[in-house]
């Protein structure tokens, strides 16, 4: 019976999301009722379920729901898993979503994007429920992608302003860095276990110990990849600067995303994979040191912030750093209690912050009191001033990310400006045909050439998507290059055994269909809007909301979001990359991540931001 109830925790929020899509955008009462009744039903059901589960002795439940695709040596299936970690996260998700939806029905009254807000909140709730119920990496990645998209949409909720849209793209780019870690962890796990391993099996000490004893370096690689994903999602060093920027959305979305639920998903990932890395001492030390360094940095930075949202954001980062330490020490129950306390506290602080700021301003005006003696005053003045400046500059984490990651990629992409559509086709099409001929004659090649060709072709795919990422003028050129990169990646993996034409068809089908749809939408937009380029934000979603929605769907399908077979194809591709092909896996993973970022950037530039037409109201650039 309990096995039958478990899928309802995903179906209930998904049903609420679908119903909210069907409602009229002016039906505020109906929209809010669907949202808070969905969360209330989920909260009531999970409360009863946890009670019944406790009476059965807290025994973990694993349910294999459906096998999506199966071949010899590979199976992609949806798996659900319920234990005490899931119970805490699922209960917290339902309770806080209910509180936020009740609060938002009044807070956002007569807001232009009222329906869009509740659609996105229920979409997030669906992805969150799927993530915390996931029983394997593939199912978790489904929910993980939904969380990233809903985060982008809510940060850019005020899409007629410059900063919310810019920061939404910035945060999405950090999330995509985390995706690299999760993709590489999934890839190496396939080869370590020779199956789609479930989290339930990771609790088998003998199985895990025997595998790690024979493949210790592989185990460390998987653990570090998981840590990269967790650090990016939970705003740990060096990714901490994205969380205050994510506060550009409405206060309720900031509360549920970046104060309580989404920001703790990195902790959840570490708790879920703890049985795998608990006996890797070096990994545990690294997690603890990372958490400690983040806590020290964030605690000081929070004290000098001039914005209440930024103060709360850095305070939450500091607490999550402490939770990382607790997880590294194996204190699972303490980490869960700490998560619940931090989530409730930050949600409350963010929801009351507008009222508190108003009160404090009035109180300070009438009853000013001098600053009291603080801990920092006991430090040597030079050290105190140095720490103050570092915290005021947020330890230059934003500058570090730009200088070490984004700017080098932009410079490299701009160095490829000569690679336009005509030259790309005239050069790369003959090379692609040569690659197909080489694939047909692969059995006659020597081993060195057979190992070099996949890397070279994956590098060509990466160059194409890098060029699309840095394109500043032509939208269709950027989309075409993303489509071409998919073909080169499929050809690169085709040289590995057991990757047949059917697998390539699964991978390319969604990419080609959505790529064509994206080009058709842009052509339709150009009939009425002459100015469609990537040099600035245009805000065309204001006058063309349907085209904006279709283009977003096309970009998601083209980037491998789980609405087309391309998502399954990406997992198929990684399952056929050999363990000794680390460079190839890195190139493919980086290409997947960068093409998603390039497409979201295109969508934001064309359809979001201040409207290009001056007869519409335009917010200040700093807004």
The answer to whether 228 and 178 have CB atoms below 8 angstroms apart is yes
Per-residue pLDDT tens digits for 89-111? 999 999 999 999 999 988 888 88
pLDDT at 569: 85
Q: What is the pLDDT of residue 368?
A: 66
**Helix, strand, coil percent content, the chain, rounded in steps of 5:** 75, 5, 20
pLDDT at 379 over 60: yes
> Which tokens hold the place of 83?
């234990």
Under DSSP, the state recorded for 1 is -
Confidence check: pLDDT of 294 > 90? yes
Count of C-beta atoms within a 10 Å radius of residue 180: 19
Q: Is the pLDDT of residue 244 over 80?
A: yes
Cβ atoms of 245 and 308 closer than 8 Å: no
Rounded CA-CA distance 57/76 in Å is: 31
DSSP assigned state of 74? E
Instruction: Report the distance separating Cα 9 and Cα 129, nearest Å.
Output: 7
Listing DSSP states for 540-606 in one string gives GGGT-HHHHHHHHHHHHHHTT-TTSHHHHHHHHHHHTS-TT-HHHHHHHHHHHHHHHHHHHHHHHHH
Mean pLDDT on 404-427 = 69
DSSP symbols for 43-59? HHHHHHHHHHHHHTTS-
What pLDDT sits at residue 320?
95
**pLDDT of the residue at 353:** 81
Segment 482-503 mean pLDDT: 82
Work out the pLDDT band at 222, boundaries 50, 70, 90.
very high
Percent of the chain with pLDDT over 70: 93
Q: How confident is the model over 70-79, as pLDDT tens digits?
A: 777 677 888 9
Domains of the chain: which residue ranges? 2-362, 416-607
Question: Is residue 82 within a helix (H) or strand (E), and if so which, with residue range?
Answer: strand 74-82
Least confident of 188-202, 448-462, 491-505: 491-505
Mean pLDDT computed over 245-258: 86
Q: In this structure, what DSSP letter does residue 442 have?
A: G
Whether 291 has a pLDDT exceeding 90, the answer reads yes
The rounded distance, in Å, linking the Cα atoms of 438 and 418 is: 28
Give Cβ neighbours of residue 348 (< 8 Å, ≥ 6 apart).
none
Q: Of 162-166, 411-415, 462-466, give the lowest mean pLDDT range.
A: 411-415
Position 30 scores a pLDDT of 92
Evaluate if residue 50 carries a pLDDT over 90.
yes
Q: Read off the tokens for 17.
A: 């999301």
**Length, in residues, of the chain:** 623
Please tell me the distance from the alpha carbon of residue 121 to that of residue 80, in angstroms, as a whole number: 22
- The four Cα atoms 58, 197, 334, 150 give a dihedral, to 10 degrees, of -110
At 119, is the pLDDT very low, low, confident or very high (cuts 50, 70, 90)?
very high
Q: What is the CA radius of gyration of the chain?
A: 25
What is the C-alpha separation between 546 and 550, in angstroms, rounded? Answer: 6
CA pair distance 140, 128, nearest whole angstrom: 9
Residues in Cβ contact with 344 at an 8 Å cutoff, skipping those fewer than 6 apart: 96, 260
């Amino acid at each position: 019976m309990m096995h039958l109830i478990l899928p309802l925790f995903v179906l209930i929020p998904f049903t609420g999301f679908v119903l909210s899509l069907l409602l009229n955008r002016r039906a505020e009462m109906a929209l809010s009722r669907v949202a808070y009744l969905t969360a209330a039903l989920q909260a009531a059901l999970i409360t009863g379920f946890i009670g019944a589960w406790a009476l059965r002795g807290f025994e973990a439940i694993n349910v294999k729901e459906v096998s999506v695709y199966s071949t010899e040596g590979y199976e992609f299936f949806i798996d659900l898993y319920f234990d005490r970690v899931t119970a805490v996260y699922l209960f917290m998700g339902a309770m806080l979503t209910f509180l936020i939806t009740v609060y938002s029905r009044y807070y956002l009254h007569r807001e232009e994007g009222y329906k869009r807000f509740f659609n996105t909140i229920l979409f997030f709730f669906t992805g969150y429920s799927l993530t915390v119920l996931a029983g394997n990496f593939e199912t978790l990645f489904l929910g993980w992608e939904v969380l990233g998209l809903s985060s982008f949409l809510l940060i850019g909720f005020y899409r007629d302003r410059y900063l919310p849209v810019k920061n939404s793209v910035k945060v999405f780019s950090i999330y995509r860095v985390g995706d690299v870690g999760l993709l590489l962890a999934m890839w190496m796990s396939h080869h370590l276990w020779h199956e789609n391993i479930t989290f339930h099996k990771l609790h088998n000490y003998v199985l895990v110990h025997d595998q790690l004893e024979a493949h210790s370096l592989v185990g460390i690689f998987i653990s570090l990849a998981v840590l990269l994903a967790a650090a990016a999602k939970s705003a740990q060093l060096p990714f901490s600067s994205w969380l205050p920027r994510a506060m550009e959305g409405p206060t309720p979305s900031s509360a549920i995303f970046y104060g309580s639920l989404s920001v703790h998903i990195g902790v959840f990932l570490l708790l879920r994979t703890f049985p795998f890395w608990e006996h890797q001492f070096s990994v545990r030390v690294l997690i603890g040191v990372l958490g400690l360094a983040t806590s020290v940095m964030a605690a000081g930075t929070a004290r000098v912030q001039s914005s209440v949202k930024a103060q709360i954001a850095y305070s939450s980062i500091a607490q999550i750093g402490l939770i990382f330490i607790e997880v590294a020490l194996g204190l699972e129950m303490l980490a869960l209690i700490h998560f619940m306390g931090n989530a409730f506290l930050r949600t409350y602080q963010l929801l009351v912050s507008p009222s508190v700021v108003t009160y404090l301003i009035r109180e300070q005006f009438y009853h000013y009191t001098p600053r009291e003696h603080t801990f920092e005053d006991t430090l040597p003045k030079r050290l105190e001033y140095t720490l103050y400046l570092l915290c005021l500059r947020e330890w230059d984490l934003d500058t570090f990310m730009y200088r070490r990651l984004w700017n080098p990629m932009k410079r490299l992409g701009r160095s490829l400006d000569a690679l336009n559509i005509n030259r790309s086709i005239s050069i790369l099409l003959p090379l692609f045909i040569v690659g197909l001929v080489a694939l047909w004659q692969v059995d006659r090649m020597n081993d060195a050439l057979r190992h070099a060709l996949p890397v070279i072709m994956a590098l060509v795919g990466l160059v194409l998507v890098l060029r699309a990422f840095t394109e500043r003028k032509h939208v269709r050129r950027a989309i075409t290059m993303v489509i071409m990169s998919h073909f080169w990646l499929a050809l690169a993996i085709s040289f590995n055994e057991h990757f047949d034409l059917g697998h390539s068809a699964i991978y390319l089908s969604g990419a080609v269909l959505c790529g064509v749809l994206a080009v058709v939408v842009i052509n339709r937009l150009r009939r009425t809007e002459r100015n469609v380029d990537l040099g600035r934000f245009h805000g065309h979603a204001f006058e063309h909301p349907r085209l904006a929605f279709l283009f977003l769907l096309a970009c998601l399908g083209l980037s491998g979001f789980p609405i087309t077979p391309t998502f399954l194809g990406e997992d198929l591709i990684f399952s056929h990359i050999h363990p000794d092909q680390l460079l190839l896996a890195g190139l493919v993973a980086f290409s997947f991540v960068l093409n998603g970022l390039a497409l979201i950037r295109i969508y934001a530039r064309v359809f979001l931001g201040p409207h290009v037409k001056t007869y519409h109201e335009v917010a200040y650039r700093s807004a």
